[in-house]
């Protein structure tokens, strides 16, 4: 299964009903810039929630440390994705 054409564009501006926008966040869920702001403005990210499913988005905190700090959150996302094959 390949990447849908609309997802290959430089900036994702819309999602199909079964798609999730995965973005890097901070633990405080400030969503003030970059992809986090896009997730907040367009895909249901919640201010104050820095981890997990929010609307049609999924936050992975990436701003607080290196790979070992981020790894548990990535593992949680992988587990979530396996448990929810209906989401893409």
Mean pLDDT for all residues in the chain = 91
Residue 4 has pLDDT above 70, yes or no: no
* Average pLDDT of the residues in 1-5: 62
Q: How far is CA 18 from CA 8, 41, 69, 71, 87, in A?
A: 17, 18, 29, 25, 5
The H or E element spanning position 61 is: strand 57-61
Q: Looking at per-residue confidence, does 13 or 54 come out higher?
A: 54
Give the model confidence (pLDDT) of 26-53 as tens digits.
999 999 999 999 999 999 999 999 999 9
Size of the chain, expressed as the number of residues it contains = 88
Mean pLDDT of 70-84: 97
Task: Kindly state the DSSP code that residue 66 receives in the 8-state scheme.
Answer: S
């Amino acid at each position: 299964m390949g990447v849908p054409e609309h997802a290959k564009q430089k900036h994702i501006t819309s999602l199909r009903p079964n798609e999730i926008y995965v973005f890097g966040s901070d633990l405080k869920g400030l969503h003030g810039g970059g992809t986090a702001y896009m997730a907040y403005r367009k895909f249901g990210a919640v201010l104050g929630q820095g981890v997990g499913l929010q609307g049609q988005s999924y936050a992975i905190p990436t701003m607080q440390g290196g790979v070992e700090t981020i790894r548990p959150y990535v593992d949680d996302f992988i587990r979530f994705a396996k448990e929810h094959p209906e989401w893409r």
